[in-house]
Amino acid sequence: MKKLKFLRSLRFRLFLLIAVIGIVPSVVLRVAILASYEGRAVSNRSIDVLSQAKLLGNQVVTYNYISDTSVEVINTQLEQLSNIYDGRILLVNPGFQIVKDTYGLDAGKTIISEEVVRSFRGEEITKYDSENRYIELAIPLKGAEEEEKSQGVMLVSVSTDGIMVNYDFLKDNALVIEIASAVLVLVAAFACANLLVLPFGKLTKSFEEVQASDDTGKLMVSDYTETEAISEAFNEMLGRLRVIDESRQEFVANVSHELKTPLTSMKVLADSLLGQEDVPAELYKEFMGDIAEEIERENKIINDLLSLVKLDKSSGSLNISVVNVNELLEVIMKRLRPIAEKQSIELVLESFRPVSAEVDEVKLSLALMNLVENAIKYNRKDGWVHVSLNADHKYFFVRVEDSGIGIPEESLEHIYERFFRVDKSHSREIKGTGLGLAITRNAILMHRGAIKAHSKEGEGTIFTVRIPLTYVG
Ligand code: ADP
């Protein structure tokens, strides 16, 4: 199988194609020309001999040679004609007797062949015997008058050996030329095939170079429109891979940074306590309180990361059951109400209809809770949060609207990225990891749902979630 691999190569197929196109017509041409040459040469020779023989025939009639074969002029001409064409001439009288044979063999003998009989009736016959290589002619000997009786018949047979010698010579020559041209065609086909597949080799080499190069390398082999299209497709794919790689690197860097920040704070707090002598108990208490807060933050980041990883891993393995979404939202509201009250934020749930849906209760609850939590966190004092639930025959919709600080337009497309936080300055006052919306979006996508955000800075934000009522795996 491996040995035959080259049969599938473009180079071999091009070579074969060019070779066939180059060689086949020349073979056809050679065979056709040789075949028509033989026919044409024989017919030319027949016409020649026939016209000469007819001239001589007229003279034979004029001199009444059949009755008297001693006429010297005719004898000389008969000899000449048979010598020129390397042939034999027989003259037959009406009694079917041979009166003259230029070979001098059959004079006096009787000949009754079909040709002779037909010729006596006035027919002119030309025959080519290709096997024995001679042309046979039968010419009636009679005067110009139509009704005149035939004085005899002239039989002429001429050898076509001369023609065949030419034919063989031509055949040999044509074969030599053809073999030479076939060799040239094969060489040209090989060179052309190599030349034509060159851009593909270039493409493969560029693939390797671009892969080995730094982040900026791009591929472009524009020799053919096809290689250009491949290059473009490759560049697009490479771009996507680079984005994935970059975001992975960024993610790892962010995770390390986020995990390190609370640790650094704790170390600073602990060191400052250890570096002082006779530290008052209140200061200890205060610093330990700060350290406990940092531990809490570290804990939150790790928990969020674990939720994300879990969501990524178990994509497709949702724990689906029929859940009362109204109740699910009520539980979320109950859990978050104390936080909202602390900032005197009004928290309202509006259910337009009872909704039961096939969802993963834990994951959906996590997703919706993040949204409501954000709406409270990024709010103003004495603000409000409205949560509403509605449904049609296919989907249920949850809308979380707040009167908060809003999200700048340029940040809207980034809010679902891991560790993204709109304004690093407010992130110091409002605690968060930047992972909440990434978790929410993942969970919603796993349910084949969709999430959209509308926001106006300083006025508030609306998140709308749409999830199918029945789960399709
Ligand atoms: P975080 O842990 O920071 O809340 P999220 O992923 O939940 O992380 O949110 C990402 C960022 O989007 C937040 O830091 C915040 O800047 C912005 N954001 C999210 N929800 C709201 C909202 N309801 N109003 C204003 N900004 C919001």
25-29, 312-316, 360-364: segment of lowest average pLDDT: 312-316
Q: Is 36 helix (H, G, I), strand (E, B) or coil?
A: helix
Mean pLDDT of 162-173: 90
Alpha-carbon gap, residue 130 to 311, rounded angstroms: 92
Greatest Cα-to-Cα distance within the chain, rounded to the nearest angstrom: 168
Please identify, by atom number, the ligand 1 atom nearest to the C-alpha of residue 304.
2
pLDDT score for 428: 54
Pocket test for ligand 1, best of 378, 461, 462 (most atoms within 8 A of CB): 378
pLDDT score for 373: 93
Per-residue pLDDT band for 147 (boundaries 50, 70, 90) equals: low
pLDDT score for 1: 58
Please identify, by atom number, the ligand 1 atom nearest to the C-alpha of residue 438.
6
Residue 405 near ligand 1, beta carbon < 6 Å: yes
Q: Is 471 helix (H, G, I), strand (E, B) or coil?
A: coil
Q: Which residue has the higher pLDDT, 472 or 372?
A: 372
pLDDT score for 364: 93
Residue 396 near ligand 1, beta carbon < 6 Å: no
Q: Is a pLDDT exceeding 80 seen at residue 473?
A: no
pLDDT tens digit sequence for 364-378 = 998 999 999 999 999
Mean pLDDT of 158-171: 89
Pocket test for ligand 1, best of 415, 442, 459 (most atoms within 8 A of CB): 415
Cβ neighbours of residue 444 under 8 Å, at least 6 residues apart? 367, 450, 451, 465, 467
Please identify, by atom number, the ligand 1 atom nearest to the C-alpha of residue 421.
14
Mean pLDDT of 189-199: 94
Q: Is a pLDDT exceeding 90 seen at residue 359?
A: yes
pLDDT score for 420: 85
Residue 416 near ligand 1, beta carbon < 6 Å: no
Residue 407 near ligand 1, beta carbon < 6 Å: yes
State both tokens at 227: 């290689």
What Rg do the C-alpha atoms of the chain give, in angstroms? 54
Q: Is a pLDDT exceeding 90 seen at residue 402?
A: yes
Please identify, by atom number, the ligand 1 atom nearest to the C-alpha of residue 379.
24
Residue 460 near ligand 1, beta carbon < 6 Å: no
Alpha-carbon gap, residue 185 to 189, rounded angstroms: 6
Q: Is a pLDDT exceeding 60 seen at residue 425?
A: no
Please identify, by atom number, the ligand 1 atom nearest to the C-alpha of residue 432.
2
Please identify, by atom number, the ligand 1 atom nearest to the C-alpha of residue 416.
6
Amino acid at residue number 431: K
Residue pair 447/467 in contact by the 8 Å Cβ criterion: yes
Question: β-pairing, 98-101 with 460-468?
Answer: unpaired
Residue 370 near ligand 1, beta carbon < 6 Å: yes
Residue 383 near ligand 1, beta carbon < 6 Å: no
Per-residue pLDDT band for 90 (boundaries 50, 70, 90) equals: very high
Residue 297 near ligand 1, beta carbon < 6 Å: no
Alpha-carbon gap, residue 365 to 393, rounded angstroms: 22
pLDDT tens digit sequence for 265-279 = 899 999 988 988 888
